[in-house]
Amino acid sequence: MEIKKVLKEDLDKLIPSFKKAFNESEWNQRWTDESVRISLTNIFDFPHFYGLIAIKEGVPVGAILGHVQTFNDGKTYYIDELFVDPIFQKQGIAKALYGDAIRELKKLGVSGAFFTTLTNSSAYDFYKSQGAIHLEDSAVFYHPF
């Protein structure tokens, strides 16, 4: 498996693994090629974008995507997406993407990462196993309108 910096020209190659990761269980969402393309374009175009792609046997199987933002007196990475095609899950790919991103971002002076996930998900357990801290004094809000 190869992990490398993701480029905008990789965007369309990520659509199949993104759709599989989020449309199948456990998330059961309803992404289309077009909605994935729009979402990923927004992420790639955000200022200070940083991401890595995992490639196995020439096929993109996952990625970590986000952006670096100045926060208080330092830099923080905001993870927008971390996903792996379900066929390739439980093989250490997410761990490799996450770990490599942390190592590379530290070299850029980034001191931590913020992200959200559901507490009743395998993603929550994954992040905890990697040393992430559930901020008990913080809340994530969604305001429908």
Give the predicted TM-score (pTM) of the model.
0.93
Name the CATH superfamily for 2-129. Answer: Gcn5-related N-acetyltransferase (GNAT) (3.40.630.30)
The per-residue pLDDT for range 41-94, each reduced to its tens digit, is: 999 999 999 999 999 999 999 999 999 999 888 999 999 999 999 999 999 999
Using CA atoms, how far residue 139 sits from 48, 77, 112, 135, in Å, is: 25, 18, 18, 8
Contacts of residue 88, defined as CB under 8 A and 6 or more positions apart, other chains included, come to 54, 56, 61, 62
Phi and psi at residue 142, in whole multiples of 5°?
A: -135, 130
Q: Are 81 and 65 in contact (CB under 8 A)?
A: yes
